[in-house]
Amino acid sequence: MKRVFSGVQPTGNLHIGNYLGALKQFVELQEDHECIYCVVDMHSITVPQDPKELKQHTLDIAALYMAVGVDPKKSIIFAQSTVPGHAELNWILTCNSYTGELSRMTQYKQKSHGAESAPTGLFMYPVLMAADILLYDTDIVPVGNDQKQHIELTRDLAIRVNNKYGETFVVPEGRFMKAGARVMALDDPTAKMSKSAPNEMSRISLLDEPSKIKKAIMRSTTDSDGVIRFDIDNKPGISNLLSIYSAFSGKTIEQLEKDYEGSGYGQFKKDLVEVTVDALSPIRERFLEIRGSQELIDAMKNGTERANAIAEPVIKRVKDRFGLGI
C-alpha cells in the first residue's frame, strides 16, 4: 500500500481553499493508502505565536481533520512536535541544502518581504517540510498548488542524499486536485484565498455561519459581461466561483456552463451559496462535537505512537548512512 503524508499549519481557521486543495484529498486517499496527517506546529512558530492559542489551534486542526472525514482508525493524526524525528532529520537535511536554492523559494520571498533580517526559521521552513515528508518514506503528498515548489525541493534533497550516501530516501510525488488546487480570494480573484488576508469577506472558513457564507459569495467580485463561462484570464471571478461550485457539487465545469446558459450571476451565486452551505454544515456540526472531546486527545496520542513507530527505523537508517552515532 502506498504511503501518504501531508500537513497543515495550526494557524487560524481553515478556509475552503485548504479544504478543496488539500483536506478533501486526505479523505479520498485514506480508503486505499496508508495515510499520515500531521498538524505542523513547529512550522507555525516560524512567525511568533501565542503559546496558549497555538495549543488550541493544534487541537482544532486535528478536530477539523476528523470533522471533514479523516478517520483516526484508518489514518494517523498527530502533532509534528510530538515526534522527535522531524527535528532530527531537519538538521541532517539542512546540512545537505544550499542557501541559494532556499533563497529562491517564493513563499520565503513573500513572507520575508526581502528583509535582510528575516527570521532564520522562515528561511529553513522548506527543509523542515522535506524532513516531515522523507521521515515516513512517503510516496504521495496531497497539497494545494502553492506547495509545488516545496515538493520539488523535497525531491531534490532526497535524490541528492541518495546519490551521495546510497539509497536512503523514497522520492515522493505531489498530488494536486483538478478543481480546487488553487482557490482564489472572493474579493480579488487574482490573489490566492488565504488565512491571513485582512478582509474576512475574501474567504469562506470551514466554520462560517450560513449568513457569512451568503454575504461573502453574493458580494464576490465578478465582471460586467454577465455570461457564466470559465475563462481564467478574462473572467477570473466567475472562473473561481465555477471551480468552487464544481469542487463542492461534483459537476464538471462544462456541465455547469450548460446549466447556467442564459441565467444571470445572481441566480448562479444564490445556488452556489446553497451548495456551499450544504457541504459545510455537517463539517461544522461534527467539529463542534469533536472539539474538546476525549476522542480527539486519544486519537492524537495514538497517532503520535504510530507515527513514531514508522519514523524511528527511518531515522536509524539515515544515521547509519551518515555515520552518525556509535
Interacting residues with ligand AMP (CB under 6 A): 8-9, 17-18, 21-22, 143-144, 146-147, 181-183, 192-193, 195
Of ligand TRP, ligand AMP, none, which one sits near residue 273, judging by CB under 5 to 8 A according to partner kind?
none
Smaller CB distance to ligand AMP: residue 155 or 192? 192
Residue type, position 282, single letter: P
Angle between helices 236-249 and 265-290 (to 10 degrees): 50
Task: Give the residue from 63, 143, 67 showing the smallest Cα distance to 107.
Answer: 143
Smaller CB distance to ligand AMP: residue 287 or 315? 287
Task: Give the residue from 81, 77, 138 showing the smallest Cα distance to 306.
Answer: 77
Smaller CB distance to ligand TRP: residue 23 or 213? 23
> Cβ of residue 201: shortest distance to ligand AMP, in angstroms?
15
Pairing type for strands 3-8 and 34-39 reads parallel
Residue type, position 258, single letter: K
- The C-alpha cell of 162 is what? 541518495
Smaller CB distance to ligand AMP: residue 186 or 311? 186
| Active site members | 111, 192, 195
Q: Distances in Å between the alpha carbon of 13 and those of 17, 57, 178, 208, 322?
A: 11, 8, 24, 9, 40
> Cβ of residue 163: shortest distance to ligand AMP, in angstroms?
28
Of ligand TRP, ligand AMP, none, which one sits near residue 21, judging by CB under 5 to 8 A according to partner kind?
ligand AMP
Give the interface with ligand TRP as residue ranges (CB under 6 A).
5-7, 9, 40, 43, 129, 132-133, 141, 143, 147, 150
Residue type, position 33, single letter: H
Asked if 48 contacts 100 with a C-beta cutoff of 8 angstroms, the reply is: no
Q: Which residue is nearest to ligand AMP (CB)?
A: 21
> Cβ of residue 70: shortest distance to ligand AMP, in angstroms?
14
Residue type, position 171, single letter: V
Of ligand AMP, ligand TRP, none, which one sits near residue 192, judging by CB under 5 to 8 A according to partner kind?
ligand AMP
